[in-house]
Chain A
Amino acid sequence: MTTPLLSIKGLQKSYGGKKMVLKGMDAEIFHGEFIVVIGPSGAGKSTFIRCINRMVDPSEGELLFDGQDLAKLKGKKLRVARSKVGMIFQHYNLIGRTNVIKNVLHGRLGQIPFYKSALGLYTSEEKSMAFHLLTKLGLGEHIYKKASALSGGQMQRVGIARAMMQQPKLLLADEPIASLDPKSAQVVMDQIHAITKENNLTCIMNLHQVEVAKNYATRIIGIKDGKIVYDDVPAKLTNEMIDYIYEGKEEEMGQPATGVEPVKGEFSYGA
């Protein structure tokens, strides 16, 4: 048995000492997994994923990653650890008035000192890496456009490039396709899937659409009311289990009509 990349032990969170949002979660994440987290709105999916890179501070528990407990890190050490975890956001969170290639280079900020980034002293390797990522994601001709001038799908691809620019050991994605039309959603899902597969990168992603989750994931984690109630391969996710996870919130399961499925190609898992 290999050692896990990330081991989550007894993770708890309550915002401001009020009601518990995460009620003790345990999970071991292994190298190369593509994990999709599902669950109804308010179940704690975003809180769970944000605790991992400490965008939200956990109240209790351990996050063993790369030989250290992320939950205990502070200041500079926390920033160094964060720089090894890429994140993709629902609303892309690009700096709209800055051009595309600089947005991608922002992925390096955690790994270079302020004076270098401020003076634009990125190495030529860094610059060509940014360029190649953008070209690969089909944005080669837009690198000098303001980020705000792009379409939603294009913005999210810049978000992917920025996260990859970190050369992360782990990729987090919080509802990366929730703001996109079905066609762009398909493109973005395929690109995240392909790029993680190609780099043998571990990914944890929150999704609303159960069907999409089943199509891409190697493992699905179902969260209900702050607890992990399902943690296994997609094939074993029965309709009864789905009904249980979304009990009382059935309308949120997401329409399979959007039909986002992986392209069957060299990068896809046999779904």
Chain B
Amino acid sequence: MERSIPLSVEKKAKTYLNLGLLMAVVLFCFLYLNVNVGDIVTALPNLVGFLVDNFMPPNFTNLGVYMGAVMDTILFAIVGTYISAFLAFTFGILMSEAMMPNPWVRGLVRFFISFLRNIPVLIWASLLIFVFGIGNMVGLIALILATVGFLSRSYAESINEIAGSKLESLRASGAGWWQILFHGLIPEFIPSWMNWTLFSFEINIRASAILGTVGAGGLGILIQTNLNMRNFTEAAALIVILVAMVLLTEAAVSLLRKRLSIGGH
């Protein structure tokens, strides 16, 4: 009694329908935005030509100045991530059901954090420039606001996971809130705390480079000004440095992860 066994119970027709819908959506977007794919393809040789003519070879004569900006960018990311990690831990606890029984506090903090998170870092920087003027301070604060928004929610999820099961035993022994926090939550939370924090550090290195384009200091501001002044070869050098910096920090972070043996997410 041989019978062929289907590998999937889903209907073929449904798959084709989904595929068709997806194509329709993409097509609609191109038409609506008035984007001509042909233009993009024909412009490609021009773009490459422009880049080669104007940006090559990169001009590294001002390397000393650039390295200062690289330093700024990295330090921003480090300090910003560091401060955010502590702030976000506090907010994460206030947001987690397991550690914060009061639903009003939880709701309020949740609202505040999702507000922070849903405003992109560049918008924060542009807003803050009106308050503090152009400079490094703006970049740092913008970075912290966005990072706190991102980390608080990630931390709260990890905290809930831990508190939902493992901390039960401490609660059952009559431990108080601070004891549960100190003897149970913090030791168990450290691996995910490091994981999330390193992850956001990688994001912040890139963010901190881009923040300069709105006048918030670092490597980005040099790229922006050189482009505006049509110093293309110098801008090219800066972009090369930016890429090298990002790659190096990524390598450093993954080395650190191995050292701490906490693996990926």
- Give chain A's interface residues, CB within 8 Å of chain B: 53, 55, 79-87, 89, 91, 93-98, 102, 106-111, 114, 117-118, 159, 162, 166
Contact = CB atoms under 8 A, between A and B. Distances in A.
Interface in B190-218: 190-191
Nearest to B189: A97
Nearest to B169: A93
Given A95-B184, A114-B179, A117-B179, A166 B168 contact: no
A118 B190 CA distance: 17
Contacts of A107: 173
A82 B173 contact: yes
Interface in B162-203: 165-176, 178-179, 182-184, 187-188, 190-191
A109 B175 contact: yes
A80 B169 CA distance: 15
A161 B44 CA distance: 71
Contact of A87 (B166, B169, B183, B187): B169
B174 A109 contact: yes
Given A98-B183, A98-B187, A109-B179, A79 B174 contact: yes
B174 A110 contact: yes
Given A83-B173, A87-B169, A106-B169, 11 more contacts: A55-B168, A82-B174, A84-B174, A93-B167, A95-B166, A96-B166, A106-B170, A107-B173, A109-B173, A114-B176, A114-B182
Given A87-B169, A89-B168, A93-B169, A110 B187 contact: no
B175 to A, nearest CB: 4
Nearest to B184: A95
16 contacts: A86-B173, A87-B169, A87-B172, A89-B168, A95-B166, A95-B183, A95-B187, A96-B166, A97-B190, A106-B184, A110-B173, A117-B182, A117-B183, A118-B179, A159-B169, A162-B169
A93 B168 contact: yes
A98 B182 CA distance: 11
Nearest to B185: A95
B174 A114 contact: no
Contacts of B167: 93
A81 to B, nearest CB: 8
Contact of A93 (B166, B174, B175, B179): B166
A260 to B, nearest CB: 24
Contacts of A93: 165-169
A114 B169 CA distance: 17
Given A89-B169, A93-B166, A97-B188, A80 B182 contact: no
B240 to A, nearest CB: 42
The 5 closest A-B CB pairs, nearest first, are A110-B174, A83-B174, A109-B175, A93-B169, A82-B174
Contacts of B182: 114, 117-118
Contacts of B166: 93-96
Contacts of B190: 97
Contacts of B172: 53, 55, 82, 85, 87
Interface string B210-251: 000000000000000000000000000000000000000000
Given A91-B165, A114-B179, A166 B187 contact: no
A166 B190 CA distance: 27
Contact of A80 (B174, B179, B184): B174
B200 to A, nearest CB: 22
A91 B162 CA distance: 13
Contacts of A80: 174
Given A93-B169, A94-B169, A111 B183 contact: no
Contacts of B165: 91, 93
